[in-house]
Amino acid sequence: MIRLLLFAALIGTASTSAAETVTVLHPVRAGMSLDSGDLGFLDQDAADAFADPRDVIGLEARVNLFPGRPIRTRDVGLPTVVTRNAVVPLVYRRAGLTITLEGRALQRAGEGEPVRVMNLSSRNTVTGIATAAGAVVVN
């Protein structure tokens, strides 16, 4: 059974038992950010699921989320700064030299996450780290 709780109440009384996991109160589409009004508790213990709603606020749903199902760590991630198929600055840094080219992102990524990018000049695929500005840095 889902207990409807507002996050404001949770901050003061974050007393969850080991058998409670965080769920959404309404369907949330992939790509949407989660806030306190989206979250509640599910009286169920699930492996790899969140127990504290404060750990989920501000994250982005990577898959569609439904009420009555626990939110697992693989279901959410950092907000997207690089989207799949977007043309992004590809920055190579080596020994004080910086080269910036264009690349096509082959997957989505949040800030600080690894992302595969195809160099549009050479057609080679490299892996770099997404920055907050939407660039990908390869060292």
Q: Where are the alpha helices (DSSP H) in the chain?
A: 7-12
Tell me whether strands 109-110 and 97-105 are parallel, antiparallel or unpaired.
unpaired
Map out the domains of the chain as residue ranges. Answer: 2-76, 80-138
CB 16 within 8 A of CB 7: no
Q: What topology is assigned to 80-138 in CATH?
A: SH3 type barrels. (2.30.30)
Per-10-residue mean pLDDT, the chain, length 139: 40 52 94 92 88 92 94 92 96 92 95 95 96 94
Q: Is the pTM of this model over 0.85?
A: no
As assigned by CATH, the class of the 2-76 domain is: alpha beta
